[in-house]
């Protein structure tokens, strides 16, 4: 390990020690006092704000764990509904919501662990380094005034009484410095892993969050299906049905004119034939919007390639799928890619789009990237929000990265199992 990195680790350990002693102790004391004041009413209003500070303190530790040690600690908190503006019962309701969240009590327990075991792990790298340097200071002659002022001095297990014992202290200080420089990174990683044992969601919390998310997405899927049925009904009523009714009326007129005015009947027959062709085309478009035939026959890869060929801009498609997913999953992925390509064509100003589809670690992963102007916002677009709800019904996720100036990348992940051997 390089000395510069080891010294940086010692500095980081010192920062974490200060955060534990100043932040965790203060927040733990204030939070416990505030919770104790809930029966008299005061705590109902102070506890939510203190718990927000505790969560901010924990989020800072999560961020440092990722940046300094590569340790990822997910957030386990339930969403907290805000009270209406000016609502007097807002803080009490919020207090109840926070205190019934198991993650809140794990945060409080973490504060206690952080100011004890966590603080010890954090202070060891800088403490050993500084104590090792002090061993050299003693060997440089400072041992004499130190022992005279204190009436004797022990450096760890070495009684410093002479220059010889001071040199022994310097030798032990060398060991302390070596331990700090070689094991400092491991000690900091142990500190963050200890924090993660309390700040990360437990399997029970993860299961509850997943059930809550699936319940929400199930309701969204039901609403989306109802809206889709209404759209299909409207398209049938206004399009193909109207044309078929008109064609039936035309055939009735043709039947009456076929002997009296054959020329006019022939003209109406040609118009009826054109109407039937248009109705058939609209029905095909409608069926393609429900479930594209190429998707059912050839699979997701060929369906996306066919979709790319219909785009005005060049679209490069890279598909690496050793099999096929279930039909509902393929349909959700297909329409998600279709929406992403449509958005790129309408809003990005891009002249090239790349689509990457592959399967890894039990999930179908899709990335749609364009070289446009960027600035896409998931919260502002109803189309992508609809895609997110569609994917959520299968426990899938959608993320958008679109900095100003581009590029824009829409990534999707759908848990699924591929049936190997199918195209």
pLDDT one-digit tens code per residue, 363-409 = 899 999 998 888 776 666 556 777 777 787 777 888 888 888 878 88
Q: Is the pLDDT of residue 66 over 80?
A: yes
pLDDT band at 217; cut points 50, 70, 90: low
Q: Is the pLDDT of residue 233 over 70?
A: no
Q: Is the pLDDT of residue 302 over 80?
A: yes
- What's the rounded mean pLDDT across residues 328-351? 84
Q: Is the pLDDT of residue 422 over 60?
A: no
* Whether 258 and 224 share a structural domain: yes
Q: CA-to-CA distance for 80 and 147, rounded, in angstroms? A: 59
Name residue, tokens 């689509």. 355
Please tell me the predicted confidence (pLDDT) of residue 193: 94
Please tell me the predicted confidence (pLDDT) of residue 110: 95
C-alpha closest to that of 300 among 281, 282, 318: 318
* Whether 9 and 152 share a structural domain: yes
* Whether 226 and 256 share a structural domain: yes
* Whether 391 and 372 share a structural domain: yes
Task: Give the CATH number, domain containing residue 379.
Answer: 3.30.565.10
DSSP string of 393-423? TTT-EEEEE--TT--EEEEEEEE---EET--
Residue ending a domain, among 262, 290, 318, is 290
* Whether 301 and 238 share a structural domain: no
Please tell me the predicted confidence (pLDDT) of residue 421: 57
- What's the rounded mean pLDDT across residues 203-226? 63
* Whether 56 and 74 share a structural domain: yes
Q: Are 51 and 31 in contact (CB under 8 A)?
A: yes
Q: Is the pLDDT of residue 220 over 90?
A: no
Please tell me the predicted confidence (pLDDT) of residue 24: 93
* Whether 227 and 99 share a structural domain: no
The mean pLDDT value of the chain amounts to 80
Q: Is the pLDDT of residue 259 over 90?
A: no
Q: Is the pLDDT of residue 55 over 90?
A: yes
First to last CA, the chain: 50
* Whether 36 and 148 share a structural domain: yes
* Whether 123 and 227 share a structural domain: no
Please tell me the predicted confidence (pLDDT) of residue 240: 58
pLDDT over 70, % of the chain:
79
Q: Is the pLDDT of residue 62 over 90?
A: yes
Residue 319 belongs to what domain range? 297-420
Query: β-strand 353-360 against 397-401: which pairing, if any?
Result: unpaired
Please tell me the predicted confidence (pLDDT) of residue 381: 59
Q: Is the pLDDT of residue 64 over 80?
A: yes
* Whether 166 and 218 share a structural domain: no
Please tell me the predicted confidence (pLDDT) of residue 400: 86
Residue ending a domain, among 290, 323, 357, is 290
Q: CA-to-CA distance for 44 and 105, rounded, in angstroms? A: 16
Q: CA-to-CA distance for 108 and 58, rounded, in angstroms? A: 10
Q: Domain total for the chain?
A: 3
Please tell me the predicted confidence (pLDDT) of residue 59: 94
Lowest mean pLDDT across 102-106, 269-273, 368-372: 269-273
Q: CA-to-CA distance for 168 and 155, rounded, in angstroms? A: 9
Please tell me the predicted confidence (pLDDT) of residue 89: 46
- What's the rounded mean pLDDT across residues 205-214? 65
Please tell me the predicted confidence (pLDDT) of residue 423: 47
* Whether 166 and 271 share a structural domain: no
pLDDT tens digit string along 109-147?
999 999 999 999 999 988 888 888 888 888 888 888 888
- What's the rounded mean pLDDT across residues 342-347? 82
Q: Is the pLDDT of residue 245 over 70?
A: no
Q: Is the pLDDT of residue 314 over 50?
A: yes
* Whether 42 and 157 share a structural domain: yes
Residue ending a domain, among 173, 199, 225, is 199
């Amino acid at each position: 390990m390089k000395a510069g990195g080891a010294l940086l680790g010692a500095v980081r350990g010192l920062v974490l020690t200060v955060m534990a002693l100043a932040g965790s102790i203060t927040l733990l004391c204030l939070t416990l006092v505030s919770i104790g004041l809930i029966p008299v009413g005061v705590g109902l209003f102070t506890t939510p704000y203190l718990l927000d500070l505790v969560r901010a303190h924990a989020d800072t530790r999560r961020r440092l764990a990722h940046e300094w040690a590569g340790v990822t600690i997910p957030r386990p908190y339930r969403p907290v509904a805000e009270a209406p503006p000016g609502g007097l019962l807002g803080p009490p309701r919020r207090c109840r919501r926070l205190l019934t969240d198991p993650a809140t009590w794990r945060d409080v327990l973490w504060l206690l662990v952080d100011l004890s075991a966590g603080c010890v792990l954090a202070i060891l790298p800088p403490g050993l380094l500084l104590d090792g340097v002090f061993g050299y200071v003693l060997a440089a002659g400072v041992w004499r005034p130190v022992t005279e002022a204190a009436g004797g001095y022990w450096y760890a297990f070495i009684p410093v009484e002479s220059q010889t014992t001071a040199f022994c202290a310097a030798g032990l200080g060398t060991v302390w410095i070596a331990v700090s420089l070689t094991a400092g990174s491991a000690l900091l990683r142990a500190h963050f892993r200890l924090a993660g044992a309390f700040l990360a969601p437990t399997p029970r919390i993860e299961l509850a969050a997943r059930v809550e998310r699936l319940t929400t997405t199930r309701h969204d899927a039901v609403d989306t299906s109802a809206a889709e049925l209404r759209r299909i009904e409207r398209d049938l009523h206004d399009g193909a049905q109207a044309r078929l009714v008109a064609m039936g009326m035309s055939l009735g007129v043709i039947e009456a004119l076929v002997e009296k005015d054959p020329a006019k009947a022939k003209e109406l027959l040609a118009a009826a034939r054109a109407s039937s062709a248009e109705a058939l085309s609209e029905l095909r478009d409608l069926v393609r919007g429900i479930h594209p035939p190429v998707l059912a026959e050839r699979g997701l890869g060929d369906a996306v390639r066919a979709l790319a060929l219909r785009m005005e801009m060049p679209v490069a498609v890279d598909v690496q799928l050793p099999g096929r997913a279930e039909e509902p999953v393929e349909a959700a992925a297909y329409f998600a890619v279709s929406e992403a390509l449509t958005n790129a064509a309408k809003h990005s100003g891009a002249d090239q789009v790349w689509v990457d589809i592959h399967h890894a670690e039990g999930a179908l992963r899709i990335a749609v990237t364009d070289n446009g102007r960027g600035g896409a916002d998931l919260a502002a677009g109803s189309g992508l929000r609809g895609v997110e709800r569609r994917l959520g019904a299968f426990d899938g996720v959608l993320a958008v990265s679109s900095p100003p100036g581009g590029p824009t990348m829409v990534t999707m992940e759908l848990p699924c199992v591929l049936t190997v051997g199918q195209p």
